[in-house]
């Protein structure tokens, strides 16, 4: 038995640690995937915004280039006409700069010696730009985005040639060019407005993988100093890219893996720590099962075996408490009645008893390899059958009630209807009435609609048992117990009220304090009085929420009232 229990404990420990390890790597992968997907969505949004911004620059250049007054200005050689048109063109250019944040400067290039430049740009940089633009503007056939490297910085611009149209004498003749410098501030703002998380950085790269703009300047400087391809090969980074077709630029998102999963670094230690706690708990449970269930049941089986074989005049002597003690007492009573029967009846009864005892011994032997509450249930069923044969109604009632309680307790479902919980309470009260005749009076005030509502199994029965054991059992006079169930607008309210011994004020205050902070209590705090109340309260708060649970009011020598409150809306869910 012990070997099998410890094997089972070892199996459970390995299973739990394996599941925790699996969950750790699953969460690790899931977080990386979600961050990657979210970054992909963000990079797609950035791609659309940048493409839209560049398209705005192209549209502004075309609109200016196809203006008939612009072409007239470029075609005419008359100084007076040029002077008259210049003010108009300047107003168009200034309006374009004012209406488009994407453009920082504007240049109209007529030939190598005639240039009009507008916008915020230092003159030395303007001269460097013009020196590089001359050759390009002469050979360019259509508009394109260009990169201009000056002595102090890199500038990105859109250059569009202007041709004569609707003039047969000058058809397809190049009249000049329009140059729009892109606003670095506008590009930076687009990248900085995207706030994904603390570990994702966005970069806009040109055709040579040089950083145009970034929302992480520190990482941008490292990329400038090193080869961007090295980052793509590094397994410590997740890199996603999207191409911006018009200028041939590339938008890149770089995610540092270790920062994504930094919050999971404590998980391996938690797995080890929880494994040690699990070993301690399961070992304690194994010892408790051995001392409180395995050994008493084994001794009970040995006693029953001896009595069933030949010692009919002997009685079971077993020092135990709780439900097993009830079984021992009722079995001894049953043996007393059997012994008083006539020899003829005794022979028949002995045969029935031995038959039933054999069945009981077989069940006990099967369960010795794996202790299970089913053993107790089957034993009670056996006792009930024997008592029914001998017409011992008290034993039948007690055995039936106990069997119902054990069968209910071993149900797989953790969520039951209130009607089921009420039936088990009534079975328990029936046992108490048989143990203490005329000592208790029980009253039920139940709203019928609540019977079909669901509650956590074994929520109310332990409270009823607690009221009898601590409040009513030691009372000299007859005790009263009230179980009330009602609803308000949002909640179901259960009340268990007795007129028993009550609780002293300091003890009551300490108990209510523990009930309020039950989720914060340490393990050693739960190993005190009130563990049943604390555990029930903790289960309710964990499932329904912190605002629900137990409240206790009591007056010494007057009685105690326990109120259980759960949400009405959640009384139809699954646990």
Cα distance between residue 331 and residue 325, in whole Å: 10
Q: Give the torsion through C-alpha atoms of 290, 292, 297, 298, to 10 deg.
A: 40
Evaluate whether 349 touches 392 at the Cβ level (below 8 Å).
no
CA distance 163 to 443: 102
List the Cα angle 538/539/543 in 5-degree steps: 115
Distance CA 322, CA 154 (A): 88
Helix (H) or strand (E) holding 311: none
Q: Per DSSP, what are the bridge partners of residue 480? A: 441
Residue 251 to residue 205: CA distance in whole angstroms = 6
pLDDT of residue 493: 95
Q: Give the per-residue pLDDT at 321.
A: 65
Contacts of 295 (CB under 8 A, 6+ apart): none
For residue 366, the tally of other CB atoms under 10 A from its CB is 13
* pLDDT score for 326: 75
User: For residue 264, what is the DSSP state?
Assistant: G
From start to end of 514-573, where are the E strands? 549-555, 559-567
For residues 209 and 228, the answer to whether their CB atoms sit within 8 Å is yes
Please report which residue ranges of 76-226 form alpha helices under DSSP H: 79-99, 123-139, 184-192, 217-225
Please, are residues 179 and 133 in contact by the beta-carbon 8 Å criterion?
Answer: yes
For residue 357, what are its two tokens? 């005892």
Residue 382: predicted pLDDT: 61
pTM confidence score: 0.42
| Parts of the chain with a pLDDT under 70 | 1-6, 24, 28, 31-32, 35, 111-117, 120-121, 134-139, 166-172, 194-199, 216-236, 257-268, 271, 306-324, 338-392, 412, 521-531, 571-575
Backbone dihedral region for residue 417 (phi beyond 0: left; psi -120 to 50: alpha; all else: beta): beta
Could you give the CA distance from residue 113 to residue 90 in angstroms, rounded to a whole number?
19
> What is the C-alpha to C-alpha distance for residues 32 and 259, in angstroms, rounded to an integer?
10
Query: Domains of the chain by range and CATH?
Result: 1-265 (3.30.450.20), 290-410 (no CATH), 414-575 (3.30.565.10)
What is the pLDDT, as a whole number, of residue 443?
93
Residues 139 and 210: beta-carbon distance below 8 Å: no
At residue 505, the pLDDT reads 92
- Quote the CA–CA distance of 182 and 163 in Å, as a whole number: 23
CA distances from 151 to 148, 210, 427 (A): 10, 16, 94
Looking at residue 389, its pLDDT comes to 61
3-state secondary structure 175-207: EEEEEEEECHHHHHHHHHCCCCCCCEEEEEECC
Q: What is the pLDDT of residue 35?
A: 67
Residue 78: strand pairing partners: none
Q: CA nearest 246: which of 146, 335, 114?
A: 146
- Retrieve residue 161's tokens: 């040639």
């Amino acid at each position: 038995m012990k070997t099998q229990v410890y094997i089972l404990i070892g199996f459970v420990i390995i299973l739990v640690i394996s599941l925790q390890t699996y969950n750790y790597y699953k969460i690790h992968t899931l977080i990386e995937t979600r961050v990657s997907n979210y970054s992909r969505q963000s990079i797609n949004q950035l791609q659309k915004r940048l493409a839209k911004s560049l398209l705005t620059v192209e549209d502004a250049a075309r609109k200016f280039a196809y203006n008939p007054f612009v072409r007239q200005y470029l075609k005419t050689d008359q100084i007076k006409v040029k002077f008259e048109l210049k003010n108009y063109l300047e107003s168009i250019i200034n309006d374009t700069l004012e209406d488009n944040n994407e453009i920082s400067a504007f240049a109209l290039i007529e030939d190598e010696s005639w240039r009009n430049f507008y916008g915020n740009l230092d003159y030395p940089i303007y001269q460097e730009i013009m020196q590089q633009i001359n050759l390009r503007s002469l050979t360019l056939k259509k508009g394109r985005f260009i990169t201009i490297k000056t002595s102090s910085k890199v500038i990105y611009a859109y250059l569009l040639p202007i041709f004569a149209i609707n003039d047969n004498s000058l058809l397809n003749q190049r009249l000049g060019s329009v140059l729009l410098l892109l606003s670095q501030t506008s590009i930076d703002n687009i990248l900085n407005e995207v706030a994904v998380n603390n570990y994702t950085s966005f970069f806009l790269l040109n055709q040579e993988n040089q950083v145009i703009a970034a929302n992480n300047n520190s990482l941008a400087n490292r990329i400038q100093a090193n080869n961007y391809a090295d980052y793509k090969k590094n397994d410590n980074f997740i890199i996603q890219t999207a191409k911006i077709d018009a200028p041939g630029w590339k938008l890149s998102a770089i995610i540092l893996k270790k920062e994504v999963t930094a919050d999971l670094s404590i998980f391996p230690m938690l797995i080890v720590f929880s494994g040690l706690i699990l070993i301690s708990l399961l070992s304690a449970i194994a010892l408790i099962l051995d001392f409180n269930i395995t050994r008493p049941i084994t001794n009970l089986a040995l006693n029953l075996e001896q009595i069933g074989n030949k010692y009919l005049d002997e009685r079971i002597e077993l020092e135990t408490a709780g439900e097993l003690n009830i079984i021992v007492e009722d079995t001894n009573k049953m043996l007393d009645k059997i012994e008083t029967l006539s020899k003829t009846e005794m022979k028949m009864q002995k045969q029935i008893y031995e038959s039933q005892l054999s069945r009981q011994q077989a069940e006990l032997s099967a369960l010795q390899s794996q202790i299970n509450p089913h053993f107790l249930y089957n034993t009670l069923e056996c006792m009930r059958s024997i008592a029914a044969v001998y017409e011992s109604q008290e034993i039948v009632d007690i055995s039936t009630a106990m069997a119902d309680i054990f069968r209910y307790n071993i149900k797989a479902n953790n969520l039951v209807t209130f009607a089921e919980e009420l039936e088990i309470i009534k079975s328990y009260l029936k046992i108490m009435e048989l143990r203490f005749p005329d000592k208790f009076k029980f009253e039920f005030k139940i709203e019928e609609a609540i019977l079909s509502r669901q509650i956590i199994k074994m929520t109310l029965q332990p409270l009823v048992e607690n009221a009898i054991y601590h409040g009513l059992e030691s009372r000299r006079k007859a005790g009263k117990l009230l179980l009330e169930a009602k609803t308000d607008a949002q909640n179901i309210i259960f009340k268990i009220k007795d007129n028993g011994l009550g609780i002293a004020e300091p003890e009551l205050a300490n108990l209510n304090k523990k009930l309020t902070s039950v989720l914060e209590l340490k393990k050693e705090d739960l190993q005190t009085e009130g563990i049943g109340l604390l555990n029930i309260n903790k289960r309710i708060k964990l499932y329904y929420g912190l605002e629900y649970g137990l409240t206790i009011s009591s007056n010494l020598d007057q009685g105690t009232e326990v109120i259980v409150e759960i949400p009405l809306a959640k009384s139809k869910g699954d646990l």
